[in-house]
Amino acid sequence: MTRGSDIEDRLIDFAVRVINMVERLPQTHSASQHIKRQLIRSATAPAPNYGEARGAESAKDFVHKLKIALKELNESRIWLKIIIRADLMRAELLADLLDECDQLCRILSASIHTAKKNS
């Protein structure tokens, strides 16, 4: 398996973990539905965008698609922090998910930097 496939798998796993976590958020909180929709949208977008980047037609297209994936991960991180600060879920339950999000952000940032440098 190539490194690109490993990253894609991690992005898919991140999306699945978020989907599963969102199902455990309280149903009665008025903001929960909005947060759930936004988080699911942002957390499931990076994997397909990364897949698109891997098939990019140019270096510029590759960087552009990676930047979109990174923006979605950054948005996901913010939604996860909102969940914690709104006391919808305990921080300890989201620590691993936030850590994975941060790691994925660093990986994509490094890939963008490398691609820009090499083009």
Domains of the chain and CATH, by start: 3-118 (1.20.1440.60)
- At residue 119, the pLDDT reads 79
pLDDT tens digits, one per residue of 4-60? 789 999 999 999 999 999 999 988 777 888 999 999 999 999 999 999 999 999 999
Supply 48's token pair. Answer: 């397909």
Helix (H, G, I), strand (E, B) or coil at 82: helix
Packing angle of the helix pair 91-118, 59-85 (nearest 10 deg): 160
pTM of the model: 0.92
